[in-house]
Structure formats: C-alpha cells, structure tokens
Amino acid sequence: MKKGCVFLTGAGPGDPKLLTLRAVETLRISDVVVYDRLVNQEILQEVKHGAEKIYCGKLPKNHTLRQEQINHILSEKALEGKVVTRLKGGDPFVFGRGGEEAVHLASLDIPFEVIPGITSGIAAPAYAGIPVTHRAFGGTLAVVTGHLPNEQDKEQWRALAKGIDTVVFYMGMNQLESITTRLIDSGQSPDTPAAAIEWGTTSRQRTVTAALTSLPSEARKAEISNPAIIIVGEVVQLRDNMRWFIGEADIASELSAFTHNET
C-alpha cells in the first residue's frame, strides 16, 4: 500500500487570521487532522468536508491521548495511505513536541513536512505592545519552558538572570512564584519589568504588568491563568507607548509605577 504523508503544522498563537497560507493548504487536502486543545476552532472550518478529526488536547495531569498514542495515530494513518495534518498551537517545534513526532515518522520512513507557525512567545507580547527585542533594551532573547524540574541547574538560572535581556516563559503560570523567586535569587533585579499575557492575540487577551517581585501577587489578583506567556525584561516598559491592540482588556497596574532608583 502506498504511504501517505504527515504535515506537522503550526496553527499560530490564537488569532485564526495569523494562520499561514501553507497551513490552510494542508488542512484543505488532508484526510485526517489531529489537533490540540489550543487550536482556535475557527481554523478547523478550513478542514475539507469528510475529513476525520481527532482531538488530542492536553491539560496538566489530564491528557486525552499520551504522546506515544499520538505518534502511533500519525504513523498508522499515514501507513494507510492517508494525508495527515498534525495541527499544533503556535509552532510545532517550540515546546510543541513536534520534534518527537518528526523523529518517530522518520524512523518509519514516512514522508513529512514541517510548516512553521507564529509562536505565542513572540506574538502575545507583540499584541500586548511589547517587542521581545529592541536595540536600546534587549538584544538577547531566551524562550524557556515553565514546566521546570524541582532541582533546576543553578548555572542555567544565573545565565537567564544575568546574561539574557528578555526571557519568555511558556506554560509557566502554575510555576510563577517559583520562576520569579529563582530569577531574583540568581541575580535578577526585583524591579525588572515583567508581564503575564493570557490568551494572547485573541479577543480574550488580558495583560498584567508589574515589577518582577510583584508579578505573582498581581497575576493572582487578576486571576490570570494558562494559556499565558510570562515575559521578563526592560522591553516590557515599552508597553506604555506601544499598546495598539484595541481588543485587549488592560487589568494591569501601569509600568510608570515602577521605581528603578538605586538604593
């Protein structure tokens, strides 16, 4: 039987208009679409009539399908000769486990194509009026998973705190207190501007800004929860003059309240 193929496709950060043209093409030709929890339902309207849709969304400690099962579905459907789109929120290779799926498909000699998507760690700050890089404030950028082990390498934290201008954490709201504490303990100034952005690029977007040391309490007050991006760095202060997304609900204390005076 002729093998099918798999498209490892990024669905972008939430706004369906940020989907790439190539991603739309794959949805319109696929026999099977395997999609995640954070994929905007409007995007699924692009799936061709009669295609099989398989939901494999994950919540912490509550996985509809485990990764090994997802890998098996992709290869099984492709080996049946079907065209498969694996549709992931954001970009498939940015904390999307697309690399694991690609390795699995390659091990079975199943053809696949990777279709990048706009990742939320760049898009959500942009919609909040925060550029992740800026010549005056941030020439280095790190993206970090918020699912941190209990004993994370101290040198790695020191590098993030002292060697990187802007740090973006994915999936970190449940670890926010730990993240801020470890950064400060590793040398980051407690007054560093920081933000948490919930449901970035969508009509549900909300942003809270505060000094790094105050961000956990401010986020709790605002009831910010996942899906959310945490961004730490001087670039956050640019939000004062760069806010443009009129669909956003601003629930933050303004950055002008920060005090950066040396004591």
pLDDT tens column, 120-152: 999 999 999 999 999 999 899 999 998 765 555
**Spatial distance between the Cα atoms of 172 and 19, rounded to a whole number of angstroms:** 24
Rounded to an integer, the average pLDDT of 71-96 is 96
How far apart (Å, rounded) are the C-alpha atoms in residues 97 and 69? 13
pLDDT mean over 53-78: 86
**Residue percentage of the chain with pLDDT more than 70:** 90
Catalytic residue (choose from 77, 91, 171, 173)? 171
Rounded-to-integer distance, Cα 116 and Cα 127, Å: 19
Pairing of β 166-170 and β 228-232: antiparallel
Q: Which of 3, 31, 58, 250 is catalytic?
A: 58
Query: pLDDT tier at 194 (50, 70, 90 boundaries)?
Result: very high
Q: Are 44 and 35 in contact (CB under 8 A)?
A: yes
Instruction: Say whether 173 is catalytic.
Output: no
Is the confidence at residue 180, as pLDDT, over 60?
A: yes
- Higher-pLDDT residue of 260 and 237 is 237
pLDDT higher at 157 or 254: 157
Residue whose tokens read 């459907």? 77
pLDDT of residue 260: 40
Contact 182, 176 (CB under 8 A): no
Confidence of residue 220 (pLDDT cuts 50, 70, 90): very high
* pLDDT of 152: 58
Active-site option among 15, 36, 77, 88 = 36
pLDDT of residue 118: 97
Position 254 confidence tier, pLDDT thresholds 50, 70, 90: very low
Over residues 153-164, the mean pLDDT reads: 90
pLDDT attached to residue 259: 39
Find the range with the poorest average confidence among 60-74, 183-197, 233-247: 60-74
In the residue annotation, 36 being an active-site residue is answered as yes
Q: List, as one string, the DSSP characters of the chain.
A: ----EEEEEE-BSS-GGGS-HHHHHHHHH-SEEEE-TTS-TTGGGGSPTT-EEEE--EETTEESS-HHHHHHHHHHHHHTT-EEEEEESB-TTSSS-HHHHHHHHHHTT--EEEE----HHHHHHHHTT--S-BTTTBS-EEEEES---SS--HHHHHHHHHH-SEEEEES-GGGHHHHHHHHHHTT--TT-EEEEEESTTSTT-EEEEEEGGGHHHHHHHHT--SSEEEEESGGGGGHHHH---TT-EE-SPPGGG------
Binning pLDDT at 50, 70 and 90, where does residue 59 land? Answer: low
1 catalytic residue (yes or no): no
Name every residue whose Cβ is closer than 8 Å to that of residue 49 and which is 6 or more positions away in sequence.
none
More confident residue, 74 or 60: 74
